[in-house]
Amino acid sequence: MKISVIGAGAMGGSLAQGLLKVETFKPSDITVADPSQDTLQKFAETGASITTDNKVAAESGDIVAVVVKPWLVENVLNGIKDSMNYKRQILIVIAAGVSSEQINSWMKKDDGSLPPLFLVIPNIAIAVMNSMTFIVPVNASETNIKLISEIFDEMGGSLITEERLLASGTTLASCGIAYAMRYIRASVEGGVELGFKAKDAEKIVLQTVKGAVELLQSNGNHPEAEIDKVTTPGGVTIKGLNEMEHAGFTSAVIKGLKAGLK
């Protein structure tokens, strides 16, 4: 099985990096297409096939992933439509705000046929096999759904969802990774104020956040259940949490997430 990634920018490049690490594909099974030779060169060095011609990429993949800016999607899809065989190929589109209705209108062939389609929203942690990826199947069989889910599960975790929730998923996980990094940055700066060197503070905060995530994933507890374990009555933890709440911590997070939908 072969896969082509059309567009090797921040997200497309991250996807390609993740695919190079999965067991499903060998590097030679992966084709990366991009207009920039400099961008392509790093993928060529891994053993992946490269091309500046989107049609070549579209013809070579059993799965074709189009990962470009939303305003470029129509032009790219129109350029590869005639190169695709819908009976044997699956189309993935990774572009926020582009609907399945739009894609179907652009990809519909003269005989009325449409490709098995997946709207997919990962985040940039897909490069290191730790994305949270949302998948919306359109015109897709159960076999197709199983295949695409397994591929993205190899690169983190995935959730099959409805198209109406894709924007919410984007702000919660794709934008959300930036929100998490902003918390980390703030904590590192706080660590410096507490007397640690910046690099030491960063090491402390990253390991602490990693520990919190792995603890919750391993035991399935609600975050508050774990918080209760470390909030001694009258202790420093509850005082710190309450100060954050007085400053609007939870409210700010929720407002930020909701702002991502506007």
pLDDT along the chain (262 residues), means of 10: 97 98 96 96 96 97 98 98 96 97 97 97 97 97 98 97 95 94 97 98 97 96 96 95 96 93 76
Q: Could you give the C-alpha distances from 261 to 31, 96, 183, 257, in angstroms and in order? A: 33, 11, 20, 7
Closest CA to 77 of 10, 6, 135: 6
**Does residue 159 share a domain with residue 37?**
yes
Number of domains comprising the chain: 2
**By three-state DSSP, how is residue 34 classified?**
coil
**Does residue 10 share a domain with residue 125?**
yes
pLDDT for the residue 6: 98
CA distance 161 to 120: 10
Which of these three, 141, 164, 187, is where a domain ends?
A: 164
**Does residue 22 share a domain with residue 101?**
yes
**Does residue 111 share a domain with residue 156?**
yes
CB 80 within 8 A of CB 89: no
Which of these three, 138, 164, 190, is where a domain ends?
A: 164
The range of the structural domain enclosing residue 160 comes to: 3-164
**Does residue 158 share a domain with residue 66?**
yes
Read off the CATH number of the domain in which 243 is found.
1.10.3730.10
Q: Looking at the domain assignment, is residue 171 inside a domain?
A: no
Q: Output the pTM of the full model.
A: 0.92
Q: Which distant-in-sequence residues (6+ apart) come within 8 Å of 91 by Cβ?
A: 64, 66, 84, 103, 107, 115, 116, 117, 118
Q: Looking at the domain assignment, is residue 12 inside a domain?
A: yes
